[in-house]
Amino acid sequence: MVQPARMFFLVAGEVSGDMLAAGLIRELRKRYPEARFVGVTGPRMRAEGCESLADIEALSLFGISEVIGQIPRLLRLRQRLYKDIVRQRPDVFIGIDAPAFNTRLEARVRRAGITTVHYVCPTAWAWRAGRTRGIRRAVDRMLAIFPFEPDFFAAHDIPVTFVGHPLADELPAHPDAAAARDALGLERAARWVGLLPGSRGAEVDRLGPLFLEVARWLVRRDPSVRFVAPMANQRVRARFEAELERFPDVDVELVDGRSREVMRAAEALLVASGTATLEALLAKTPMVVAYELSGTNYWIARSLNLIKTEFVSMPNLLAGRRLVPELLQTDAQVPMLGAWLYRLLHSPAARAEQIDAFEAIHAGLARDADARAAEAVAELMEARS
């Protein structure tokens, strides 16, 4: 008897979710060549043949206050997707990141008798640990990309498989800084510092002036330093250029996109806390991390005591110690940020401490994540067939 073709329903959030989902689709198709893939998609997912019911931009929100304003639209979208899922009865529903949206959808889908997988653990280990109760009701299997996550979720009776991180598989263990400088047209012999104030306009508005003040502080103490900054898009570039006009004494090479090449090319980085810190780690470039939430989001986080971890930057979380300097909110002061950068530029021991740890972390994350994630989904699905 011929078995019907498998069907997978995927809902991804953010650009990173699009990347993860595309790799998963590619590996699942090797196992199930006739399978159908459908869901909320980005360009990479569509390129792998996933049918689109909505664009990933519908879930690309940032910050508590921004999400609140979009709640009615998100509820309508989730209800529409739920009806589609129940009608089409996929073999597996896979939510990729976007936990606030996906875990609630997963809970309803699971109650309807459909197997659910969540790819990328929600950061319940960092804040709002009480969410584990809802997650336990929502998912049949969690796919973790960081090695410290399984123990936390297993302790809350949530089945977890550590698959590793696709970026660690994709990026080289020993990056070539000289080749990156050549590719970007940067002078090889110069001492380059990368400025990465974020990929969103609001982040650049808050951190752009601070990063440029730090650049001014640094170049006054070491005139040999040069600066390069990748711009995520034209809107971000326009905002950063407007800030740069107030710093005629600071020369910054702006690069459209190509942030990973900038990270490899730089001798040190000043980077906004977020996913860029993981990419910087994998580039093996010493870094200083800074961040400043909006006043509303910081007030909410502080008032509700939401943050539960000692560290926020991924290098420190993965190392389990203060490996890289991270200065947040009122601690993110120009002299302190500048002094840390100066030390990374001039102290071989300080540089080596970060780089050696980055190499060890990279090796632990490189596990052929796409294939391992597909294997975990297939095993779960076959066990329930």
- The CATH fold assigned to 177-365 is Rossmann fold (3.40.50)
Q: What is the mean pLDDT of the chain?
A: 90
Note the pLDDT tens digit of each residue in 60-108: 654 444 566 678 888 899 999 999 999 999 999 999 988 889 999 999 9
How would you classify the pairing of strands 191-196 and 268-272?
parallel
Residue 141, both tokens: 């299997």
Spell out the domain ranges in the chain: 7-164+367-383, 177-365
Sole residue written with tokens 């190392």: 319
In this predicted structure, the answer to whether residue 301 has a pLDDT above a threshold of 50 is no
Domains 7-164+367-383 and 177-365 share a fold: yes
- Give the model's pLDDT for residue 214: 97
Stated pTM of the model:
0.86
Q: Alpha-carbon distance 82 to 109, whole Å?
A: 7
- Cβ–Cβ < 8 Å for 260, 227: no
Dihedral pair phi/psi, residue 145, rounded to 5°: -105, -10
Q: Alpha-carbon distance 180 to 262, whole Å?
A: 7
How would you classify the pairing of strands 287-291 and 7-12?
unpaired
More confident residue, 293 or 179: 179
Half-sphere exposure of 227 (CA within 13 A, CB side): 25
| Domain 7-164+367-383, CATH | 3.40.50.2000
Give the rounded distance of the alpha carbon of 241 from its chain centre. 25
Please measure the distance between the N-terminal and C-terminal CA atoms of the chain and give it in whole angstroms. 15
Q: Helices (DSSP H) in 139-233: which residue ranges? A: 149-154, 166-170, 177-184, 201-221
Note the pLDDT tens digit of each residue in 261-285: 999 999 999 999 888 999 999 999 9
- Give the model's pLDDT for residue 308: 55
- Mean pLDDT for 235-239 is 92
- Give the model's pLDDT for residue 166: 94
In this predicted structure, the answer to whether residue 126 has a pLDDT above a threshold of 50 is no
- Give the model's pLDDT for residue 88: 96
- Give the model's pLDDT for residue 3: 65
Q: How far is CA 233 from CA 55, 155, 256, in A?
A: 19, 41, 7
Residue 105, both tokens: 């959808």
- Mean pLDDT for 226-250 is 94
- Cβ–Cβ < 8 Å for 100, 17: no
- Mean pLDDT for 10-37 is 94
- Give the model's pLDDT for residue 117: 98
Note the pLDDT tens digit of each residue in 127-157: 455 578 889 999 999 999 999 999 988 888 9
DSSP state of 127: B
Contacts of 106 (CB under 8 A, 6+ apart): 93, 95, 116, 118, 138, 139
Note the pLDDT tens digit of each residue in 308-346: 557 889 999 999 999 999 998 778 899 999 999 999 999
* One-letter identity of residue 138: A
In this predicted structure, the answer to whether residue 187 has a pLDDT above a threshold of 70 is yes
